[in-house]
Structure 1
């Protein structure tokens, strides 16, 4: 009967069911998207491994009918990575990369759809200059990790002669034939676990609130059922049936929203992460759990909400003064959560992994404790609020009559903010373990260009000096210097440059072209004092068993000078031998690798792209490295990125849910609002009262969220063995975001509010 009333109860019934279904549907869609995230990340990881083209097991292959020479030519364009490979098949059985139907001919390239679109646009003009190949096709989905990935494969000749370069290899298959499992970091596992719990708990709270939309009107309708003969238990079962109908329709809408969102996700990139729609497939077990849990929660929440409502044939006894909410059992939830987390303090890297069940249960109980405590706090505070303006009195009286409804509306945002504050503290606390300052001196150079062996460094340095936006160029040539021709026991660094470049690495007594210096004070350099003596014969580029060299004998001159090492632009204290260009043996020119440090004018638009284009024109193997002040763990960064992506989706859902809830409450008060306007209440006064009705609960909710978030964050930091410190800017930002969402929802609800304040709202049928 309840299901039938929901769908056959006229316009009122349909509106209530639709509101419930939309709210539940939004929550279900986000639950399905969230449960699909692990599968999407796993597929991205599998795709990345399947196209792996540099493995240790293939380092000693000889040319054969099934081999392929491949070169890594990755680049960056406007802070986005561009994955590039040059290929030269050596036989008809050469392995084909995933996503390609055939090898591109020399001078041709196959590109990802996103790269093709970028190159065809005006934004891709500078990148087009860097990729002088003809587009002959697109890479299939199996060869890409995301829909927005920029990637290409180009055909080339003459790669086999350059295999000695570290970025060029001969392979006979793609993928790692002997993958090794990644070592798990307990702290990173804890971060991932807490992120999922914090993101999903607000969604569950919102779904529980959505099934109670229109509760007051529903209860008044149920009084009519008592009048025609139903008993109290039957009435509650009918109410549960109505909620079940809305939840089931919400599952249908949620599935539709999920399918729409999955398609949209294929064209969206958040924080450089993109996926194909096919990646977002929820685990069947999790999908079944959602399908069963949501209707069950709808029935349970409805029966739980009706436990204090007396539905009689002549009306609903709820307007009488209700009994005060009890505090003691509400405190049990957060205390139980703390009790579950307490045994985990001090675990982690030193005392074993965290118990995932205790961590999940403890975090959930602490966050659910917010939803239990907030109604008591709102009721207690609003009962003591005094008099004020008309708008204030209207808002306070409404909150005093239905504080539970007001608390339900802000429960989701309070839980989300509490979890976000705790995560902010946890990430800030452990960041130092996964982030270390870079040794690069950005005041001396901001870019480094690595050049392969045999490339004339001075000529290329001149091209960089002529590049737009480049202020200073420091060119260094590097090689190894051994005490033996083969299998040397002692090896030193050999650095070659003009006097200005050498002064970037050492303090020189004097310098002119032709000078040689032996450097003392270098990092990890104990061989230079005894090996670099005048008259000693050393060998440039000595050979080893696994990497034959082209060793050239060189005798340390009697005029060698002593120099003291200083930090170079990379922060390294170099040792070994420094040579000016005039002292380098003629045959050694083809054995050295070039390194160019560039200082650029960051105010010049696209200066980085000009530098990268110059590097590409000089030699396709030249790689431009943009220096940063810090270096961060990739796993830590990926988890933090996942948090931001998930938090964006959750906050969007909470904003939408609060708007639906606000509109539902305004709809229920349509006659009251119209009556107040008819008695002469100004519309501005009513609008301010609606704002106060939202602002008071949300202020209390955010205060409670800050307390619970700080408590949870403190416990999590103690679990990881970190010093407890509060990231106050992060707390204020999270709280401000929550307040901003509420303000936006209130502003969006004003137009419907003004429409409801019309005299025709008093009409009844």
Structure 2
């Protein structure tokens, strides 16, 4: 066999594909749409590295946090930046106050000029929100006049909420992280290489394999649309003299034509989706169309792999079909499918994963090739086992209603076609179950307790050092939706003015506030209490004794001098014990009522206000944030929760959700295309049954049974493989194996819901096909 013969036969198949009349074009369009949907998702996946890199680059370019670096001296090339970020209905609003100190002050990316006092430059999404009726409360918080919008280089996403407002009262200091002085925006230090987390790498690898495998399965199924009708056409070629090998190559040429057209359709879908990406937001994440730029090497790989896979799949499929001049030997009784080689795939996958069991994060990295290969073989094993399972079950099904018998007989004749339709959904569900088990199992490793009880305090507001904490406490107490509020200030007390050898914490608040921290026998203004720490050494105990001289806010190396305040621990100090449900964690040291603190020491402390909200008041937390912005535009206000989850873990889970949404959309669309192709091939059969008096309701139920049986078997197999894969992955992460059966059932139900929706959408075309006019032929 030479290349010229292959090229000629493939070219002949391509010509047949495009010259088959209306039937041929319909088949080509369906194949192209099916392949195109898969290509679209593959191209989106190849663009993901560039999306992440572009977002990181934009974030780094506007970086204005100095991370403890020394404050540069004031000059004509410096700008003061105040941190005024807030939240709106659990969505972050990035806010900055700008105060240029000279004509050469640097502008942040995306901003053409500095806003003056009372003006602000906002992102397009924030401008739209502030102009809407739903943003009325947020407009009260940001009352400045909008003079311009932030251009794309200054934003990380098209739907990001961000603003820059003008200011004239900012003051930078070594001890303040709320106001920084910059000579340029961007990362102040080179990025340091962080030790990778093996478990997070394992999660990332499995996420990619689980999301992409169903896509490959769907593409392989799409290139076989119209297989039965195509094989009957190939019989005519055998009649005019082509041999079996030439016939297979011509069939591969037809599939190649569909794949090439699918590449074109997928590229168009991708370009459309690229533009749509700029106007949507999923799980708080948004992108600009310019981000969605596929890697040239990966895009070229997709362009080569999809047509090559189409040819390979067709040649493998044709090995089981005997095309003779007088017909196609497909409807005769086929040899039973063998099970032994189908079991080799999942067993080989388990064998590749087995050496890494027990690694966790303490025994080095996971071998990425073994992880990808093992998970891939287990998922592909679903596609190999499902046809055998469907054939074995439907062969034993017997009598029933007419619709049941029609469905069973159809499945008995073409169980492979039925299995191909649900292979993708089965693979997706199996991977989703495994990932859900893995995420749920390791979540506790990336979640820590904050020690906060939201029932005691709903929100915490951290004020800057320019705020009057007593005034702020009264303002919050009068805020709509606030049931109670307490103000607490904290600082440090050392044995020396500079670089103290021993230090202890001090906490200042009125008696009501201190009772939220410790059990006080009695309290009045002027009292001082001591909460001994569990790990206090002799020097710390001596520092906190009555009559001991020291300094509040001592200066450490590199810090701003002159803020130290001399103070003596007063007599009458009483020991108390901390509350187990204290508003602050690890309460220890000296507790002071306001008059016991020197007046000069008040500006050196850090101030917090804790509020308890009335859950019956709508938007109570937004009213609190409005008060915080009114009292101090540099205040930070956030809701308290009992736990805190790692940002990287949360981001990975968000990425999985976004990818799962795309895969489910692909599953639904591809199943619908496949269902329509199946109905189109059986148009004459359906019309014949209707002409002989079969009720349309019976035929509709038969179609439903033909879908329900394979999907039920597919979900059963997917659940089994998913649970096995999830258990192995948990063992690899050195985590106890647990199964959340509610989640497993919900994932299986989601897969069944997609198939049910596709079936319902295919009923209108089915009704149109069930007409006697379908018997007409050309």
Length-normalised TM-score, structure 1: 0.98
| 284-293 vs 724-733, greater mean Cα deviation | 724-733
For residue 413 of structure 1, the aligned residue among 404, 421, 425 is 425
Counterpart Cα distance in 1 of 2:669 and 2:166: 50
Counterpart Cα distance in 2 of 1:297 and 1:161: 62
| 318-327 vs 64-73, greater mean Cα deviation | 64-73
Counterpart Cα distance in 1 of 2:703 and 2:406: 9
For residue 331 of structure 2, the aligned residue among 305, 309, 319 is 319
Residue 250 of structure 1: aligned partner: 262
Query: Aligned pair in 2 of structure 1 residues 459, 239: CA closer, same or farther (>3 Å)?
Result: same
Counterpart Cα distance in 1 of 2:520 and 2:734: 47
For residue 775 of structure 2, the aligned residue among 759, 762, 765 is 762
Q: SS at 1:603's partner residue? A: coil
Q: SS at 1:308's partner residue? A: coil
| 402-411 vs 164-173, greater mean Cα deviation | 164-173
Residue 265 of structure 1: aligned partner: 277
For residue 297 of structure 2, the aligned residue among 285, 308, 320 is 285
Residue 196 of structure 1: aligned partner: 208
For residue 693 of structure 1, the aligned residue among 706, 725, 731 is 706
Length-normalised TM-score, structure 2: 0.96
Q: SS at 1:471's partner residue? A: strand
Unmatched runs of 5 consecutive residues or more in structure 1: none
Q: SS at 2:576's partner residue? A: strand
Residue 490 of structure 2: aligned partner: 478
Residue 169 of structure 1: aligned partner: 180
Task: For residue 58 of structure 1, report the CA deviation from its aligned partner.
Answer: 4.2
Task: For residue 741 of structure 1, report the CA deviation from its aligned partner.
Answer: 0.6
Counterpart Cα distance in 2 of 1:542 and 1:30: 59
| 451-460 vs 71-80, greater mean Cα deviation | 451-460
Please list the CA deviations of residues 408-467 of structure 1 after superposition, one character each: whole Å capped at 9, or x if unmatched: 000000000000011011111111110122210212111011112252212211111111
| 2:83 is the alignment partner of 1:72 | yes
| 2:387 is the alignment partner of 1:375 | yes
| 119-128 vs 631-640, greater mean Cα deviation | 119-128
Counterpart Cα distance in 2 of 1:80 and 1:292: 42
Counterpart Cα distance in 2 of 1:230 and 1:739: 44
Q: SS at 1:160's partner residue? A: coil
Counterpart Cα distance in 2 of 1:234 and 1:677: 39
| 2:46 is the alignment partner of 1:35 | yes
Counterpart Cα distance in 2 of 1:527 and 1:565: 21
| 2:486 is the alignment partner of 1:495 | no
Contact 1:505–1:573, Cα closer than 8 Å, also in 2? no
For residue 730 of structure 2, the aligned residue among 717, 723, 727 is 717
| 6-15 vs 559-568, greater mean Cα deviation | 559-568
Counterpart Cα distance in 1 of 2:442 and 2:384: 30
Task: For residue 173 of structure 1, report the CA deviation from its aligned partner.
Answer: 1.7
For residue 357 of structure 2, the aligned residue among 340, 345, 368 is 345
| 2:686 is the alignment partner of 1:673 | yes
Task: For residue 568 of structure 1, report the CA deviation from its aligned partner.
Answer: 5.4
Contact 1:58–1:172, Cα closer than 8 Å, also in 2? no
Task: For residue 217 of structure 1, report the CA deviation from its aligned partner.
Answer: 0.7
Counterpart Cα distance in 2 of 1:83 and 1:74: 5
Residue 422 of structure 1: aligned partner: 434
Task: For residue 559 of structure 1, report the CA deviation from its aligned partner.
Answer: 2.5
Q: SS at 2:530's partner residue? A: strand
| 2:557 is the alignment partner of 1:550 | no
Task: For residue 742 of structure 1, report the CA deviation from its aligned partner.
Answer: 0.8
Q: SS at 1:266's partner residue? A: helix
Contact 1:542–1:549, Cα closer than 8 Å, also in 2? no
Counterpart Cα distance in 2 of 1:609 and 1:525: 44
Counterpart Cα distance in 2 of 1:33 and 1:338: 30
| 642-651 vs 676-685, greater mean Cα deviation | 676-685
Residue 179 of structure 1: aligned partner: 191
| 412-421 vs 581-590, greater mean Cα deviation | 581-590
Query: Aligned pair in 2 of structure 1 residues 454, 536: CA closer, same or farther (>3 Å)?
Result: farther
Pairwise CA RMSD of aligned residues?
Answer: 1.6
Residue 55 of structure 1: aligned partner: 66
Task: For residue 162 of structure 1, report the CA deviation from its aligned partner.
Answer: 5.7
Counterpart Cα distance in 1 of 2:36 and 2:172: 60
Residue 8 of structure 2: aligned partner: none
The aligned runs of 1:578-727 (5 Å cut-off) are: 578-727=591-740
Counterpart Cα distance in 1 of 2:138 and 2:536: 41
Counterpart Cα distance in 2 of 1:754 and 1:643: 38
Task: For residue 589 of structure 1, report the CA deviation from its aligned partner.
Answer: 3.1
| 154-163 vs 219-228, greater mean Cα deviation | 154-163
Task: For residue 673 of structure 1, report the CA deviation from its aligned partner.
Answer: 0.8
For residue 125 of structure 1, the aligned residue among 136, 154, 169 is 136
Please list the CA deviations of residues 52-90 of structure 1 after superposition, one character each: whole Å capped at 9, or x if unmatched: 111348423111232221111111011100001111122
| 2:369 is the alignment partner of 1:357 | yes
Counterpart Cα distance in 1 of 2:378 and 2:530: 64
Query: Aligned pair in 2 of structure 1 residues 267, 645: CA closer, same or farther (>3 Å)?
Result: same
| 2:248 is the alignment partner of 1:236 | yes
Task: For residue 348 of structure 1, report the CA deviation from its aligned partner.
Answer: 4.5
Please list the CA deviations of residues 157-192 of structure 1 after superposition, one character each: whole Å capped at 9, or x if unmatched: 121356642121112122224221232111111111
| 2:293 is the alignment partner of 1:294 | no
